[in-house]
Chains A and B, each alone.
Chain A
Amino acid sequence: MPIHDPEAALVTRSIQRDAEAFGQLYSLYFDRVYRYVRFRVGNATDAEDLTGSIFLSAWRSIDRFSPKHDASFAGWLFKLAHNAIVDRYRRQRESVSLDDIGASVACEDESPGTEHMVEWRLTVAELHQALQALTAEQREVVLLRFVEGLSAREVGDIMGKQEGTVRGMQFRAIEALRRTLSIGREERARDR
């Protein structure tokens, strides 16, 4: 996904230590980064801590971002986010498998508009639950690829995987999600 010009200008200015430009990047990307982290770590407090450290890290190291070598600024930023999450759990919870990350995702958003989705008519809670049935990597692919809209190449850069591998993972993840959701629905239908 190419960097749009205004964004490229902001990135360039940020590399030159223009804090105002970085502030605008913060405004542009906060929601996406926070959402990604929030889905990964499961609670708002940890998500805020991590998101803050990700942006601080971005500010400190933005001169290492290279439009030539990095697929996109979004990809670069999400890579920082990915690494921050992995580091956090590696440091603090050595005994916990990465597969456990996100197991406690709270489903607070039941507002209108989010619970009635096309055809599937998914509730956020349903989707949250289904995501937990995926492996950590599949979940990450789903979040980055579908929720955040990054390309397969960008996701591959972030996760250190080949683009083709990411594509394979995304299909398997979708199948697994569909299976889980279908089973869930059948069970609920039986209960009624």
Chain B
Amino acid sequence: MTGKEHLLEQYLHALDEGQATYIEELLDSREDERSDVTCDVCLVGAIRQIHLSEHEIEGARERVRDRLTHAMLGDIVIGRQSDAPRSWLKWWVQGTRNWTRAPLGRRARRLSRPALAIAALFILATAGWGASLAAASALPGSPLYGLKRGEEWIQLTTAFSDSQRGEVLGSLARRRLAEAEAAAAVGDSAEVQVLTSELDATMHDLIHLTVVMKTKHEDISGVSGVLSQTLRAENDALGAAQRRGEVVLAQSLISVAHSQQQAIQANALSLPTSSVLPAAPVMPTAAATPTGIGTPSVGVGSSTQLGSGASSGSTGTGASSSGTSGTTATGATGSSGSGTGSHQRGEQTGSCSEDNGSTAGTGVGMPGRVCAPS
């Protein structure tokens, strides 16, 4: 290696080590060869600065990612991945993006590989409108459910803008809600909890997306409309669950409503006026003795406070809270009859005490506060 080559090699090594100032010192110390080597050194420096336009790179990154996700789905179909679909969706939403978690990842993992493979194959092979239509109403356990989830995944991965992604997330959240209601109707408590958990994750993605869009000064009217619409759907479902006495679903929805409410408040999101929620349907009460079992308002930035709950000696569950404070009043008292009462926080009088949710009689209550009438 000649002296010049040696010097260039030293320069390259310094570049690799990030010692930019070292280069000048190096050249100063080799005055005799400086002009010749400087030329090469600067040429290498110029080459190292070459780059393509951000626009081109950014577009390519998005397009290649979309193709990759589809290819990975193909891998699952043909069984190339021995442990697929462990986290193929998570890969898409978490690994390559910063803003969202994987609303479907948990479900994807729960699906059996053959079921998902068949479903995905079905998608790839037919991509037919009829199949999609049939799958849209599929419930967990149905052969078409995998197709439904695969289709959702494609919708999510092919959303071309944040607004559209928001619409997809809202749609997915409402689907999970409908599925949770269906599971509750057949008494599948475990499925209800899984589905409401997925609902919650999807809603948090939607909230987070709204926050990100707001930060980027994008128009959030559409996505916040979707958010408030979905919150209302949750509230309606909660009222219906209470009317039907679906305790697990009601408890789960109360829990997710609290969680979402906190996220919305923490991010100071204000939703359109349509997010001022209607009161949950009031269940017929039998000789109502208000025991303060209600539901939290899932409204945000709204003073509307909703409540519905068991009362008058029933087996009931619920939580009463204000739409903003999140205070929960829960419990069930009494020993006979059934019924659900509603109250608004402002109307409630009486004393409250901490309760573990299991009080006198046959009541089944959630941990919280039991409020007795004065």
Contact = CB atoms under 8 A, between A and B. Distances in A.
Interface of A: 1, 17-27, 30-31, 34-35, 38, 44, 47-48, 51-52, 55-56, 59-60, 108-109, 111, 114, 117-120, 122, 124, 127, 142, 145-147, 149, 151, 167, 170-171, 174-175, 177-178, 181
B59 to A, nearest CB: 8
Contacts of A109: 51-53, 56
A19 B87 contact: yes
21 contacts: A17-B86, A18-B86, A19-B87, A22-B91, A24-B95, A30-B61, A34-B52, A34-B60, A48-B64, A51-B60, A52-B64, A56-B71, A109-B53, A114-B50, A119-B45, A119-B46, A145-B12, A147-B48, A147-B50, A167-B1, A178-B40
Nearest to B84: A17
A47 B67 CA distance: 13
Interface core residue of B47, B80, B91 (most chain A CB under 10 Å): B47
A18 B102 CA distance: 14
Contacts of A55: 64, 68
Contacts of A108: 52-53, 56
Contact of A142 (B9, B47, B81, B94): B47
B347 interface: no
Contacts of B25: none
A47 B60 CA distance: 9
Q: Is the interface of B mostly helix, strand, loop or mixed?
A: helix
A4 to B, nearest CB: 13
B8 interface: yes
B374 interface: no
Contacts of B64: 30, 34, 48, 51-52, 55
Interface in B249-267: none
Chain B contact patch, size range = 35 or more
Interface of B: 1, 5, 8-9, 12, 15-16, 38-40, 42-53, 56-57, 60-61, 63-65, 67-68, 71-72, 75, 80-81, 83, 86-88, 90-92, 94-96
B60 A19 contact: no
Contacts of A181: 43
B57 to A, nearest CB: 5
Contact of A22 (B63, B67, B95): B95
A119 B91 contact: no
Given A52-B67, A124-B50, A127-B50, A44 B96 contact: no
The 7 closest A-B pairs by CB, nearest first: A23-B95, A19-B91, A117-B46, A119-B42, A19-B87, A20-B95, A23-B96
Contacts of A111: 53
B80 A60 contact: yes
Contacts of B90: 19-20, 23
B42 A174 contact: no
